[in-house]
Amino acid sequence: MSPASNPYAPTATTHALPSYLQADKLGPWGIYLQQVDRVTPYLGHLARWVETLKHPKRSLIVDVPIHMDDGTIAHFEGYRVQHNASRGPGKGGVRFHQDVTLSEVMALAGWMSIKNAAVNVPYGGAKGGIRVDPKKLSIGELERITRRYTSEIGIIIGPTKDIPAPDVNTDEQIMAWMMDTYSMNIGETATGVVTGKPIHLGGSLGRREATGRGVYTVGVEAARHIGLQIEGARIAVQGFGNVGGIAGKLFAEAGARVVAVQDHGGTIYREAGLDVPALLFHVKQTGSVAGFPQAEALAHDAFWGVDGDILIPAALEQQITEANAGKITARMVIEGANGPTTPEADDILRDRNVLVVPDVIANAGGVTVSYFEWVQDFSSFFWSEDEINARLVRIMKEAFGAVWQVAQDNQVTLRTATFIIGCKRILHAREMRGLYP
Ligand code: GLU
């Protein structure tokens, strides 16, 4: 029997493609695996444990049936992946999107492990999602899908097991329903089971803005290192929601010009800089930047060629690719989204001397304040917004400083440097805990 057809052949050479994904495209998980491969030569003796990072600890696929308003019953597919728990419970958001796949959730969970370790919060990494376009659901359907999904993944989540949070298309209201459903099922109010909750339900001040604030904080630090002035800098932002919108607002307040914004509805441009508060209001009213009166509309692909100093992808994965990386004029890319740049695009940007501040450090502000929220819930003692922002900024600056240093010492990109720090912390914990049994 040839090794290929032998089901009992050693699996070490299968490159971590679980059997349930054999028929699927590798997608973002393939990108994550390439990133891990790039860091392996820098892991020293810990490289012995690196396969750990290529095998998600636990992946749950659930059926989510709900009553639709028209009387029919619809079934949706949901996922929760716990990528790693060496340093603590699983932690990571839940996204509702029609294109979510298991491979994507696995990658997002892997990036959470690296991110949580890079900012040194005591968590492993996890992520969840439902394959649904929530914009097509009524409020009642949205509540029912959230509650049924929470019940289905309830067997693996919990305040000390795995703590979900908001991500693409999920918000404070959805977290409130998740918290309530979990609490109803266990017979006690467990605020610490999710983060990103409303303030009056154990949420934290500053959590909503935290990811954008973190993007801004590391962006300013990175700009300082390369001698880029924020005042007057031209900025292009993709995605103008909770991450891109807040980061854009903070950069504009610091004197930068947000000249171009793209979202799912369209692309807009204003040479003198967009009025960011007015644009945020327009997005709140209409759901998109399209049609904003004080700007001109651009063709979708023109966005990448906009003349700028800083580019902030803050939407979805695989946006900066081989096809458009050569057009980018910015000196710096700050990844507000998870996984927006493919490895091929990373190489092109590096060769063109464009600094990429990777997702796993740039957008870690959200989970950092999630950690603060979780700690506050456990102690039932709540901090002031100033205290939260000050602690957030301190952690982000320190973590970014360490990443910058490792990048200099090893002459590697900031992504590889962040992976070096994150992977070493995870694998060190893994090694000390040892293999059970
Ligand atoms: N969804 C956010 C992220 O990708 C936050 C996760 C969390 O707070 O647990 O980092």
Residue nearest to atom 8 of ligand 1 (CA): 367
**Which ligand 1 atom sits nearest the alpha carbon of residue 92?**
9
Give the active site residue among 127, 249, 327, 397.
127
Scan for tokens 């010492």, then name that residue.
409
The answer to whether residues 342 and 333 touch, using CB atoms and an 8 Å cutoff, is no
Burial 299-326 (b: 16+ CB within 10 A, else e): eeeebbbbebbbbbbbbbbbbbeeeebe
**Which ligand 1 atom sits nearest the alpha carbon of residue 195?**
8
All structural domains of the chain with their residue ranges: 3-190, 208-357
* Cα–ligand 1 centroid distance for 331 (angstroms): 27
Out of 94, 367, 375, mutate this one to test ligand 1's pocket (max ligand atoms within 8 Å of CB): namely 367
* Cα–ligand 1 centroid distance for 366 (angstroms): 6
Q: Is 127 a catalytic residue?
A: yes
Out of 104, 105, 167, mutate this one to test ligand 1's pocket (max ligand atoms within 8 Å of CB): namely 167
Query: What's the confidence (pLDDT) of residue 18?
Result: 56
What is the C-alpha to C-alpha distance for residues 431 and 400, in angstroms, rounded to an integer?
26
* Cα–ligand 1 centroid distance for 116 (angstroms): 9
**Which ligand 1 atom sits nearest the alpha carbon of residue 367?**
8
**Which ligand 1 atom sits nearest the alpha carbon of residue 108?**
4
Query: What's the confidence (pLDDT) of residue 27?
Result: 82
Ligand 1 pocket (Cβ < 6 Å) reads 91-93, 165, 167, 195, 338, 363, 366-367, 370
Out of 112, 178, 243, mutate this one to test ligand 1's pocket (max ligand atoms within 8 Å of CB): namely 112
Out of 211, 374, 375, mutate this one to test ligand 1's pocket (max ligand atoms within 8 Å of CB): namely 211
3-190 and 208-357 have identical folds: yes
**Which ligand 1 atom sits nearest the alpha carbon of residue 371?**
8
* Cα–ligand 1 centroid distance for 45 (angstroms): 30
Query: What's the confidence (pLDDT) of residue 339?
Result: 96
Q: Which fold has domain 208-357?
A: Rossmann fold (3.40.50)
What is the C-alpha to C-alpha distance for residues 56 and 53, in angstroms, rounded to an integer?
7
Q: What phi-psi label fits residue 79: left (phi over 0), alpha (psi between -120 and 50 degrees) or beta?
A: beta
* Cα–ligand 1 centroid distance for 369 (angstroms): 9
What is the C-alpha to C-alpha distance for residues 391 and 119, in angstroms, rounded to an integer?
12
Residue nearest to atom 9 of ligand 1 (CA): 92
DSSP track, 49-85: GGGGGGS-SEEEEEEEEEE-TTS-EEEEEEEEEEEE-
- Say yes or no: domain 3-190 is CATH 3.40.50.10860: yes
Query: What's the confidence (pLDDT) of residue 25?
Result: 55
The answer to whether residues 395 and 119 touch, using CB atoms and an 8 Å cutoff, is yes
The answer to whether residues 324 and 262 touch, using CB atoms and an 8 Å cutoff, is no
Q: Which residues contact 299 (CB under 8 A, 6 or more apart)?
A: 267
Q: Which residues contact 285 (CB under 8 A, 6 or more apart)?
A: none
What is the C-alpha to C-alpha distance for residues 152 and 291, in angstroms, rounded to an integer?
40
Its pTM stands at: 0.94
Sign of CA dihedral 421, 426, 429, 430: negative
Q: Which residues of the chain have pLDDT under 50?
A: 1-4, 7, 9-15, 23
* Cα–ligand 1 centroid distance for 122 (angstroms): 14
Query: What's the confidence (pLDDT) of residue 17?
Result: 56
**Which ligand 1 atom sits nearest the alpha carbon of residue 93?**
1
* Cα–ligand 1 centroid distance for 65 (angstroms): 26
Query: What's the confidence (pLDDT) of residue 83?
Result: 98
